[in-house]
Amino acid sequence: MAAIPNHVEKVIFVAFVIAAVWYEFGPKSEPQADLVTQADVAALQAPGSQIPEAACALYRDALVAGNRLGAWHFADCIAQSMRGSASDRRALQYAVLSLALDTQVNGLSGRAKRDALHASPEEIARADAIDVIGVLRTQGVPDPAQIQN
């Protein structure tokens, strides 16, 4: 059996190096993307314009796992909630959307969606003090008025 020519060995080596770098540093899917997909299906199957509680719970779980699209949609769940005052909900939405600033849905960025809340400086200060992931891990879906800063 003939040996592989030296230049072919170099090409194979370079190809393996490129593949290893791509595998290590290439694009990765969002964590728990399947939860967001399940929540989207549940939201589409529900009658009316309200996002069902089951879908909100899935979005929350995806957010806690680090999924930015889960944060985007969970902010909508907070908006439709009747818990807490409008100011409390806006502060919590601001905090949640701050986790999804670079996420784009239908051409709207998370930053633009957060800025569209028109949160007051007081609401922004409250939002900055909220550890969203920590609150969701310990309290589940919080009452915005009961969040301890």
Query: Where is pLDDT greater, at 119 or 25?
Result: 119
In DSSP terms, 105 is beta-bridged to: 108
Confidence of residue 138 (pLDDT cuts 50, 70, 90): confident
137 within some domain: yes
- Does the predicted TM-score (pTM) go above 0.85? no
Long-range CB contacts (< 8 A, 24+ apart) of 5-11?
Answer: none
Give me 105's structure tokens.
Answer: 């849905």
Please state, rounded to an integer, the average pLDDT across all residues of the chain.
86
Q: Which pLDDT belongs to residue 23?
A: 82
> Would 132 be classed as within a structural domain?
yes
Confidence tier at 1 by pLDDT (50, 70, 90): very low
E strand segments, the chain: 104-105, 108-109
Please report whether residue 46 resides in a domain: yes
Give the span between the Cα atoms of 106 and 88, in whole angstroms: 27
Has residue 6 been placed in a domain? no
74 found inside a domain: yes
CB atoms under 10 Å from CB of 82, counted, come to: 5
Does 64 fall in a domain?
yes
- Contact (CB, 8 A) for 112 and 94: no
Average pLDDT over residues 48-65: 91
Residue 89: domain span: 30-144
For residue 24, is it within any domain?
Answer: no
Q: Say if residue 51's pLDDT is above 70.
A: yes
Query: Domain tally for the chain?
Result: 1
